[in-house]
């Protein structure tokens, strides 16, 4: 730990120091999941990346499973949408759609979702871990999807149409994110543009 960090730590209360240490460990775990994947993540690597002793780390996360669960909660929290862009008082359906696509792109194609995919890989070998991961993710996505359904309704879109758009978009971007993770490539905007155009056409001309 460098001198600047030591001086900062001294000014913090014990609960603040604990919170800062936990945050460093979780941030390190997320970074390593993105860089190395689940199979190459170890507690030693996490403690080294975080600049925390192995013994101190054990006080917070005694096992890899404890760390993974806490990391999943952190990833889900970080994935919460940023403040939504200002929409007109009576937004048009296309205004809500543009905001929804932008937020979906940010969440699913960002590094945090890559970490989430790696966590689910780990869950394949631990049923109880997998159940907890799925529960957390469903709870998060349900809250987000309900928000967008409400916004679409305010723009005059039928609930069935809004549900179709939300479900199709979620599934589409999940697939793009998974493919990018497997192929280790950055999704090309040109590959996403036709999907966005299709959604807009469906919204404007629902009878087609």
Instruction: Give tens-digit pLDDT for 83-95.
Output: 555 666 778 888 8
The CATH number given to whatever domain includes residue 38 is 1.10.10.60
Question: 3-state SS string over 83-100?
Answer: CCCCCCCCCCHHHHHHHH
* pLDDT for the residue numbered 112: 81
Q: How far apart are CA 68 and CA 124, in angstroms?
A: 13
* pLDDT for the residue numbered 47: 93
* pLDDT for the residue numbered 45: 93
Task: Give a yes or no: residue 197 inside a domain.
Answer: yes
Query: Phi/psi zone of residue 150: left (φ > 0), alpha (ψ -120 to 50 degrees), beta?
Result: alpha
pTM above 0.95, yes or no: no
Q: Are 170 and 106 members of one domain?
A: yes
Structural domain range at position 81 = 77-204
Task: Give a yes or no: residue 71 inside a domain.
Answer: no
Q: How far apart are CA 161 and CA 175, in angstroms?
A: 21
Q: Are 28 and 125 members of one domain?
A: no
pLDDT-derived band at 205, boundaries 50, 70, 90: low
Task: Give a yes or no: residue 87 inside a domain.
Answer: yes
Structurally, the chain folds into a number of domains equal to 2
Model confidence at 116: pLDDT above 50: yes
Q: Are 45 and 117 members of one domain?
A: no
Task: Give a yes or no: residue 67 inside a domain.
Answer: no
Residue 146, token pair as written in the block: 């309900």
* pLDDT for the residue numbered 64: 85
Q: Are 50 and 99 members of one domain?
A: no
Mean pLDDT (whole number) for 147-156: 88
* pLDDT for the residue numbered 127: 81
Q: Are 103 and 158 members of one domain?
A: yes
Residue 76 CA to its chain's centroid (Å)? 5
Model confidence at 142: pLDDT above 50: yes
Residue 90, token pair as written in the block: 């009576």
Q: How far apart are CA 106 and CA 171, in angstroms?
A: 15
The CA distances from residue 199 to 94, 98, 159, in Å, are 10, 10, 15
Q: Are 26 and 56 members of one domain?
A: yes
Mean pLDDT (whole number) for 37-45: 88
On the CB side of 132, CA atoms within 13 Å amount to 14
pLDDT-derived band at 208, boundaries 50, 70, 90: very low
Q: What is the mean pLDDT of the chain?
A: 81
pLDDT digits (tens, 9 = 90+) for 51-98: 999 888 888 999 888 888 888 888 777 766 555 556 667 788 888 898
Q: Are 114 and 173 members of one domain?
A: yes
Model confidence at 12: pLDDT above 80: no
Task: Give a yes or no: residue 69 inside a domain.
Answer: no
Q: DSSP secondary-structure letter at 151?
A: H
Q: How far apart are CA 71 and CA 28, in angstroms?
A: 10
* pLDDT for the residue numbered 2: 56
């Amino acid at each position: 730990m460098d001198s600047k960090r030591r001086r900062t730590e001294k000014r913090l209360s014990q609960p603040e120091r604990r919170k800062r240490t936990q945050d460093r460990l979780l941030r390190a775990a997320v970074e390593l999941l993105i860089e190395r994947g689940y199979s190459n993540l170890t507690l030693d690597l996490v403690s080294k990346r975080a600049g925390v002793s192995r013994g101190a780390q054990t006080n917070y996360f005694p096992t890899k499973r404890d760390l993974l669960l806490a990391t999943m909660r952190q990833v889900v929290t970080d994935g919460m949408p940023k403040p939504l862009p200002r929409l007109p008082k009576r937004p048009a359906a296309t205004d809500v759609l543009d905001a929804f696509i932008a937020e979906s792109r940010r969440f699913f194609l960002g590094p945090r979702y890559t970490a989430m995919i790696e966590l689910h890989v780990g869950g394949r070998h631990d049923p109880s871990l997998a159940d907890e991961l799925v529960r957390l993710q469903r709870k998060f996505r349900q809250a987000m999807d309900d928000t967008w359904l409400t916004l679409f309704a305010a723009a005059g879109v039928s609930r069935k149409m809004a549900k179709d758009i939300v479900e199709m978009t979620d599934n589409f971007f999940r697939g793009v994110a998974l493919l990018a993770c497997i192929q280790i490539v950055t999704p090309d905007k040109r590959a996403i543009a036709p999907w966005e155009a299709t959604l807009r056409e469906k919204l404007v001309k629902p009878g087609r």
